[in-house]
Amino acid sequence: MLNEKYEEAEGAGPSEASKIDEGGANPAKCPMFRTINGAAKMIREADPGSAVGPSLIRRAIAKGELKAKRVGKKYYVDVNRLIQYLSDCEEGTG
């Protein structure tokens, strides 16, 4: 049901529809802010062999290569931007 809803959405083909999480949000259009540790955990859950960890994310933030929001003592990153950053690095543009 949710997949049908997003397949009809603007520019959402079958590949976009498959990216819908259980909450019904379309991650391609909805920011998913997580703590640095939470973002690293999400990446590792999606790819257990991933070398992405909190230190890699912190370095990218410190270099200004990845944007983060600070709330109190914690930093939050948009997981979608993190994935895009990692994709750009893999292609040699980041």
> Model confidence over 17-38: pLDDT tens digits?
444 455 445 555 688 899 999 9
Confidence (pLDDT) at 89: 81
Assess whether 66 and 37 both reside in one domain: yes
* Residue partners of 42: CB distance under 8 A and separation at least 6: 34, 79
Domain that holds residue 44: 31-94
Assess whether 22 and 40 both reside in one domain: no
How many domains does the structure of the chain reveal?
2
- CB atoms < 10 A from the CB of 9, how many? 13
Confidence (pLDDT) at 28: 57
Assess whether 69 and 85 both reside in one domain: yes
Assess whether 36 and 49 both reside in one domain: yes
Confidence (pLDDT) at 29: 65
Confidence (pLDDT) at 30: 82
Confidence (pLDDT) at 13: 43
Threshold 0.85, pTM exceeds: no
Q: Which residues of the chain have pLDDT under 50?
A: 1-20, 23-24
Assess whether 39 and 18 both reside in one domain: no
Assess whether 83 and 56 both reside in one domain: yes
Assess whether 19 and 35 both reside in one domain: no
Assess whether 20 and 53 both reside in one domain: no
